[in-house]
Structure 1
């Protein structure tokens, strides 16, 4: 909802209709070492890895849980100490709200200043670990329980400072989905943060009987879940006809935004919220009522919030784009809104607003092509630059369909990659890059991509 600046991951630019990219691997990443207290996975050394390992050891919190909770909230980006829309700070999203004060609690538990907890990544991670341990103690987890990831589920649920138990389950489910799937995140300076996939069956305790999908569907839009915002955060009825859709970015997580709109002190809301990972839609204000999301446009618009942060394009997934576009198609048809950039606008474009969302990383060309019924192609987006994998590693491109032509490009040797699934990260010797997420989709896979002229396959890339 509020614009932020920060480091950005570049996207691979596209040339014409058919694109091939070659990657030159000339440098070697820093040597990997097992992280203390980990589960056998390895991660490159670095400032954030050290902070997670040390905080996990100090407070006897599972390192991977600590990472998963942080990633679910912020994708491990502290945003320079600037707050989320729910007034949460840092990688671990320590909040300072009237009803929930994990930021202030972390300060008391660690002796760190509030200012350092907001801006210093290591202090913030330490604060998050301290709060998790304090909640674990309150819930009666003993030393044996703390060794089991499954036992930490209710702790993760409470850590999110949710407005109710259903939203708390959303927090915890996000973290445990990440633990089961594993993750490889890229922090500032190309530092790799790894969590090894493993099967964890959480002990949900009181949350076991609570439906994770809220169980009620929207009357206004069939695919959406219905989770009402606090009645203190919107106005019943409208004073103007609906004539536009306003696109927002939450500046926070999906669960966090839902919780914030349920918090009567927030005084903000939106009609719909969309999840990054799979495009799940939750409606929080009925179309016929006036959500408080865009000041001068409130009375005449429908507001759609998209999970993520303006400065980090990793949140803007194809699933999110397609789900949002389907919703916008529905709304424009229902209310006679033109499917143009006059009828579908960004928050920053509404008169009287000081917000910058959805920002430069939002791909309007692709989004509008989907809204208008085209398959579309995400393309490079505004301000695209070539991704960087590390020292001496860069993206090269050429409009070609053969490995021989790609191999003839200037640079070191290459490894052929075919059938790389679209949207997945490509991993190589500790480096990870999402450039492939933005290349054309041919039947679920990217074609015409060749890396290296040898017949070796990259580790972790499916051999189709």
Structure 2
């Protein structure tokens, strides 16, 4: 009865039959809540269904009018491929995705990108149903919500059931994916949610009892996915080709080697094209692909095997790679549906392989180091500065923004910080998200820029590996030489007023941190040289004496950085030295070479790095050297 009365009130308000005194007018930051109510009443859609669908698509955000990674606009994610771009992830730059110095460099070339499916063009239908032009539906949040409500109402007329209408709204062609999307929507309705959007609107969805979820049927094939999400098996080929074989290596992890990392990528291309690439034996591989519109997952390589995805053979041999449909540089945004299924998959894999849920082990492709100095400048930098690491770790159940409150004056006592800016309000002025367009759209980011001095106009830090000629970092969206991201931990070097400096690539990097708003205090372990400068490495390979006859030792080449005496860097993990020898098609010839040298992983810059354990001491971050 209450809901009926509320809808009647909305209808009367929309028709102008009821006036509300100015003193009783709803606050401006609740306008979008009223827009949802009005659209629900106009098109006869249950308001909780409309809110639930919008939350799973956009978290009710407008994203500054920019499209999502699957060409969706506005709170209702109305899709319009006329503005979409195309690309192929592993064709960009000079990175060798396999990254194994024992084999010739692998630089695959993909064919023309496959066209996106017709299901990613809902904006035209919404325009027909509402009489509103496409440009307005893309940019006006209220009209965008009306367009989404009109689509849901049309799908309900077609199916006769709101659950099926929501499933159809996902755009999924696979029944299991549509079911999983609808289950997630109705689960959100049941639990309720509230938040402040990227443009300051306060929206709430009260918990509402709903019909039981339908449940996702078990997938066929050797799928490694948690229950309740949509997964399918689309295998990457392991076969001989002229001049070698592709497109991954057989292994027996974790019995052969421990899996230490899960690497988050974006595809730089649309779903259909990505699937074509990973099924090409001459191309490269990754373990999973995740679709933007609905979060559907395809597994390509068993997790026991080694995929060619990270550009660093040591990391490839110790990791699982997840490719997310999207673009790092276009200023586009990732859907809530994909964030959620990705987080469920990562939780499942982390539990299966005992991988800690932190930013030392759940890393971006942009955190993977080059194995040699020559490879640094060619390493990829996805998923980019617009991937919301803070939200992602909330979904993982491992929040990254918790402060250590053990000391009233944390800065001289904890000795380390976790980077944790507010995603919505943190908007660095990145450049060249689009060719020949200098400024990127002003969008939320979890990246924080470092300066050489505690002032906003100070130069950026230098990265002599990324910029061998000058060393000077830039604000180019791809340049990670003077940038930190949410969840990463760094040792504090100095504090001056509202500015904090951390140790970074052998330098002090300053960022504005008033009242700990940008970084939270944390008690951690740090690594510091025993004496003099310490060499930095991009992997943890064994000493030459460890290699058996017939296997050429892999040279462990120092990177062009050092860790000076007295500086500190947070500890990621300690590890034995290993090299996975797999250069022949027959897995019987594959072998793990283990050495006596032990290594320590550190957060040295934006990327992780390794130092020899014998060269450093490990201390509590709050302890003196």
Determine if contact 2:367/2:381 at 8 Å carries over to the other structure: no
Q: Deviation at 1:86?
A: 2.3
- The answer to whether 1:238 aligns with 2:257 is no
Cα gap change, 1:152/1:199 in structure 2, threshold over 3 Å: closer, same or farther? same
Structure 2 equivalent of residue 121 of structure 1: 141
Cα gap change, 1:83/1:311 in structure 2, threshold over 3 Å: closer, same or farther? closer
Q: Deviation at 1:92?
A: 1.0
TM-score, length-scaled by structure 1? 0.51
What's the CA shift string for 1:62-104, capped at 9, x where partnerless?
2221111000112112322322222222211122443212122
Structure 1 equivalent of residue 421 of structure 2: 384
Q: Deviation at 1:106?
A: 1.4
Cα gap change, 1:124/1:352 in structure 2, threshold over 3 Å: closer, same or farther? farther
Counterpart Cα distance in 2 of 1:387 and 1:115: 24
Structure 1 equivalent of residue 117 of structure 2: 98
Counterpart Cα distance in 1 of 2:379 and 2:343: 26
- The answer to whether 1:196 aligns with 2:206 is yes
Q: Deviation at 1:37?
A: 6.4
Determine if contact 1:94/1:128 at 8 Å carries over to the other structure: yes
- The answer to whether 1:36 aligns with 2:10 is yes
Structure 2 equivalent of residue 131 of structure 1: 151
Structure 2 equivalent of residue 56 of structure 1: 40
Determine if contact 1:307/1:315 at 8 Å carries over to the other structure: no
The Cα RMSD (Å) is: 5.5
Counterpart Cα distance in 2 of 1:291 and 1:54: 50
Q: Deviation at 1:195?
A: 2.0
Deviates more, 1:171-180 or 1:218-227: 218-227
Counterpart Cα distance in 2 of 1:198 and 1:48: 20
Structure 2 equivalent of residue 346 of structure 1: 364
Cα gap change, 1:37/1:215 in structure 2, threshold over 3 Å: closer, same or farther? farther
Structure 2 equivalent of residue 247 of structure 1: 263
| Structure of greater Rg | 2
The answer to which structure has the higher helix fraction is 1
Q: Deviation at 1:287?
A: 2.8
Counterpart Cα distance in 1 of 2:341 and 2:170: 24
Determine if contact 2:57/2:336 at 8 Å carries over to the other structure: no
Structure 2 equivalent of residue 16 of structure 1: none
Counterpart Cα distance in 2 of 1:376 and 1:76: 21
5+ residue gaps, structure 1: 1-32, 142-150, 252-256, 334-338, 389-434, 441-464
Structure 2 equivalent of residue 425 of structure 1: none
Determine if contact 2:265/2:364 at 8 Å carries over to the other structure: no
User: Among residues 172, 187, 191, which one is paired with 2:182 in the alignment?
Assistant: 172
Q: Deviation at 1:329?
A: 7.5
Determine if contact 2:231/2:296 at 8 Å carries over to the other structure: no
Cα gap change, 1:385/1:284 in structure 2, threshold over 3 Å: closer, same or farther? closer
Structure 2 equivalent of residue 213 of structure 1: 216
Q: Deviation at 1:182?
A: 2.1
Structure 2 equivalent of residue 355 of structure 1: 382
Counterpart Cα distance in 2 of 1:172 and 1:316: 13
- The answer to whether 1:68 aligns with 2:52 is yes
Structure 2 equivalent of residue 431 of structure 1: none
Counterpart Cα distance in 2 of 1:312 and 1:91: 13
Counterpart Cα distance in 2 of 1:226 and 1:160: 13
User: Among residues 224, 231, 246, which one is paired with 1:227 in the alignment?
Assistant: 231
User: Among residues 148, 155, 165, which one is paired with 1:155 in the alignment?
Assistant: 165
What's the CA shift string for 1:392-433, capped at 9, x where partnerless?
xxxxxxxxxxxxxxxxxxxxxxxxxxxxxxxxxxxxxxxxxx
Q: Deviation at 1:305?
A: 5.3
TM-score, length-scaled by structure 2? 0.40
Task: Write the mapping of 1:217-366 to structure 2, written as runs, cut at 5 A.
Answer: 219=222, 221=224, 223=226, 227-228=231-232, 236=238, 237-239=246-248, 245=261, 247-248=263-264, 261=271, 263=272, 267=276, 271-272=287-288, 284-287=299-302, 302-304=320-322, 324=346, 327-328=349-350, 345-349=363-367, 351=378, 353=380, 355-357=382-384, 361-362=388-389
Determine if contact 2:223/2:299 at 8 Å carries over to the other structure: no
Secondary structure of 2:204's aligned partner: strand
5+ residue gaps, structure 2: 1-5, 13-25, 82-115, 239-245, 252-258, 279-285, 369-377, 404-417, 426-516, 523-625
Q: Deviation at 1:156?
A: 0.7
- The answer to whether 1:111 aligns with 2:131 is yes
Aligned residues: 315
Counterpart Cα distance in 1 of 2:297 and 2:287: 8
- The answer to whether 1:87 aligns with 2:71 is yes
